[in-house]
């Protein structure tokens, strides 16, 4: 383990001492000899590749391991002075709030307000205290308009915020979050990180946040703990972590850090502000040259023949709690064979509904949607695809093996899909959606993926981007609904932006994802230059501005 000035405290909220665990019927360790202390008021980011042990560590820290998941454990886990071998999740609920990677598995009530209130009822709070707490946490997470909604009517991002509200409503002294921004739009994701930082700074709440999109949260962290194959590989400051990542595991480095390293610039920035400050001493102010920026107004909406997907004045209405609402309103768009499209927009904008309408799962109330040659659809919840007792039974024969290879999933075929990590389940569901369609002539005209990167590290996202490229080269259109701006910049040649059910932008990726505050990559926010959205774009731009060609 590499240690870079780790932070310690005499009053830990969480302590793991030589802790190891393995899941039932597994011969390998999920965690191996983990020793870790999280002090009162610390903000810790938990980094690591998919399957490295991040989720298992959080489950151990709230008592789910061993009391729910079972398996074999050794060593000690203490939460607020309580030994988790003696105290289960219910006994620790007053000390720790936990948000799982799959919030749909955590929600048990029918309505949003009842779900958020449930932990307070278990604790025995009075009516007035419960009402105040629910109102406060709903306001903090910008979801008061959801309180009367049914849980079944929520989008993935809305459900994630509701599950988070239930985790925060008791005001625990320790908060454990597993990929809390994975289904949140860029605005909601940023607001969540800074809400956590505010709780951390003003109330002394300890935060342990497992996240793959480190560019979102690294600047808020006091400390980074990186996991590798169930063990702690690094424990120290964010600046030291970036040096460690570039030297040992480049997939964990942020886009800005990779850009600085490849451009041969000194220091590695933790966040956009630090990057812009560092560049101000080397080049003219970032974003100063905007002469080529398109000032003609909104990007042109592209409506072609739509031989893969065509929507004409498409309206879709959905009902919840006896009330109906227009989720898509007059959408006109066309997607051609071979196009790679990122479908973006805030939570509840209608992205999932558009994909479901294309697959024929929801009928339009007006207009029409036309798809020729069939649709392969991967929905947001990978659990919808997992119905058998083993991975091998889910995907049998050569076609199943080819689908697993296509998504880069290498697991024992006898493993129960429910024992896989979140990222592994996501890839298994993707393989099931594509099974029999990745080889031969059976490829559909449209492959639609709804938030497929949840639980994936950057290297796995690169593999998914390569798979999307392969599918598109074979003539299928690929439309991916995603909040992951960095992923969209890496695979898409076109971005469609929805807002409140309406199409508000449709143009090249470099135009839509550059020059903004939220729907913009980290590189775009650092340099603020027309069309510069990827690390490679940024390296070229910095080379032109500084006269450097890259590292010596």
CA dihedral 204, 206, 210, 212 (to 10 degrees): 30
Q: Is 137 helix (H, G, I), strand (E, B) or coil?
A: helix
217 Cβ neighbours under 8 A, 6+ residues apart: 45, 181, 193, 209, 211
Specify the pLDDT at position 444. Answer: 82
Confidence of residue 7 (pLDDT cuts 50, 70, 90): very low
> Quick one: average pLDDT of 489-517?
94
Q: Give the mean model confidence (pLDDT) for residues 420-438.
A: 76
Give the pLDDT score at 427: 80
Question: For residue 158, which of 186, 133, 188 has the smallest C-alpha distance?
Answer: 188
pLDDT at res. 236: 96
Confidence bin at 5 (pLDDT 50/70/90): very low
On whether the 309-523 domain is CATH 3.40.50.300, my answer is yes
- pLDDT tens digit sequence for 192-235: 898 889 889 988 899 999 999 999 999 999 999 999 999 999 99
If 0-12 CB within 10 Å is exposed, 13-18 middle and 19+ buried, where does residue 410 land?
Answer: exposed
* Whether pLDDT at 292 is above 90: no
* CB-count exposure of residue 152 (10 Å: 0-12, 13-18, 19+): exposed
The phi, psi pair for 310, rounded to 5°, reads -140, 125
Q: Is the pLDDT of residue 264 over 80?
A: yes
H or E stretch at 239:
helix 238-248
The whole-angstrom separation of Cα 216 and Cα 234 is 20
Min mean pLDDT across 1-10, 117-126, 247-256 is at 1-10
Q: What is the pLDDT of residue 206?
A: 95
Q: Indicate the range of 73-87, 109-123, 151-165 predicted with least confidence.
A: 151-165
Query: CA-to-CA distance for 324 and 318, rounded, in angstroms?
Result: 6
- In the chain, helix, strand, coil percent, each to 5? 35, 25, 40
> What pLDDT does residue 246 have?
96
62 contacts: CB under 8 Å, gap ≥ 6: 79, 89, 92, 96, 98, 176
- Work out the mean pLDDT of the chain and round it to a whole number: 87
Q: What phi and psi values does residue 424 have, to the nearest 5 degrees?
A: -70, -40
297 contacts: CB under 8 Å, gap ≥ 6: none
CB 257 within 8 A of CB 239: no
Domain definitions of the chain by residue range: 1-95+212-253, 254-290+524-552, 309-523
pLDDT (tens digit per residue) in 181-198 = 888 888 888 888 988 898
Residue 483: band (very low, low, confident or very high) from pLDDT cuts 50, 70, 90 = very high
Identical fold at 1-95+212-253 and 309-523? yes
Tokens coding 126: 């009075």
pLDDT of residue 182: 83
Percent of the chain with pLDDT over 70: 90
Pick the CATH number of 1-95+212-253 from 3.40.50.11440, 3.40.50.300, 3.30.479.30, 3.40.50.2300: 3.40.50.300
């Amino acid at each position: 383990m590499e240690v870079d000035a780790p932070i310690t405290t005499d009053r830990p909220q969480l302590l793991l001492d030589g802790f190891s665990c393995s899941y039932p019927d597994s011969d390998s360790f999920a965690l191996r000899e983990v020793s870790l202390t999280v002090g009162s008021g610390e903000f810790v980011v938990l980094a690591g590749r998919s399957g490295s042990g991040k989720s298992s560590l959080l489950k151990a820290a709230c008592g789910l391991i061993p009391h729910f998941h079972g398996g074999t454990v050794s060593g000690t886990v203490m939460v607020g002075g309580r030994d988790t071998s003696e105290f289960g999740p219910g006994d620790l609920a007053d000390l720790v709030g936990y948000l799982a990677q799959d919030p749909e598995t955590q929600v048990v009530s029918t309505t949003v307000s009842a779900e958020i209130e449930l932990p307070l009822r278990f604790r025995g709070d009075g009516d007035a205290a419960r009402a105040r707490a629910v109102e406060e946490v709903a306001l903090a997470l910008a979801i008061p308009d959801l309180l009367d909604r049914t849980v079944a009517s929520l989008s993935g991002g809305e459900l994630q915020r509701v599950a988070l509200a239930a985790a925060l409503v008791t005001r625990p002294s320790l908060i454990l979050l597993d990929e809390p921004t994975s289904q949140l739009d860029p605005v909601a994701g940023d607001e969540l990180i800074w809400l956590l930082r505010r709780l951390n700074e003003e109330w002394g709440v300890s935060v342990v946040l497992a996240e793959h999109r480190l560019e979102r949260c690294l600047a808020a962290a006091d400390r980074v703990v990186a996991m590798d194959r169930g063990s702690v590989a690094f424990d120290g400051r964010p600046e030291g972590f970036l040096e460690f990542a570039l030297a040992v595991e480049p997939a964990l480095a942020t886009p800005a850090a990779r850009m600085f390293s490849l451009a041969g610039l000194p220091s590695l920035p933790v966040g956009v502000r630090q990057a812009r400050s560092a560049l101000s001493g080397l080049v003219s102010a970032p974003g100063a040259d905007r002469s080529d920026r398109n000032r003609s107004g909104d990007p042109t909406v592209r409506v072609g023949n739509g031989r893969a997907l065509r929507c004409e004045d498409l309206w879709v209405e959905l009902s919840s709690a006896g009330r109906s609402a227009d989720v898509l309103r007059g959408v006109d768009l066309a997607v051609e064979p071979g196009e790679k499209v990122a479908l973006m927009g805030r939570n509840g904008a209608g992205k999932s509904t558009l994909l479901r309408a294309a697959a024929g799962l929801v009928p339009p109330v007006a207009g029409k949607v036309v798809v020729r040659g069939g649709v392969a659809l991967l929905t947001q919840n990978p659990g919808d695809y997992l119905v058998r007792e083993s991975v091998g039974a889910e995907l049998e024969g050569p076609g199943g093996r080819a689908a697993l290879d296509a998504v880069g999933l290498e697991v024992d075929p006898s493993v129960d899909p429910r024992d896989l990590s979140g990222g592994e389940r996501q890839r298994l569901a993707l393989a099931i959606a594509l099974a029999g369609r990745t080889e031969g002539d059976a490829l559909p005209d449209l492959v639609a993926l709804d938030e497929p990167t949840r639980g994936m590290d950057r290297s796995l996202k690169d593999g998914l981007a390569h798979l999307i490229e392969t599918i598109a080269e074979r003539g299928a259109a690929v439309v991916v609904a995603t909040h992951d701006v960095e992923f969209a910049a890496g695979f898409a040649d076109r971005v469609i932006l929805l807002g409140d059910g309406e199409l508000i932008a449709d143009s090249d990726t470099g135009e839509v994802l550059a020059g903004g505050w939220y729907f913009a990559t980290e590189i775009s926010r650092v340099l603020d230059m027309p069309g510069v959205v990827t690390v490679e774009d940024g390296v070229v731009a910095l080379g032109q501005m500084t006269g450097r060609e890259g590292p010596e």
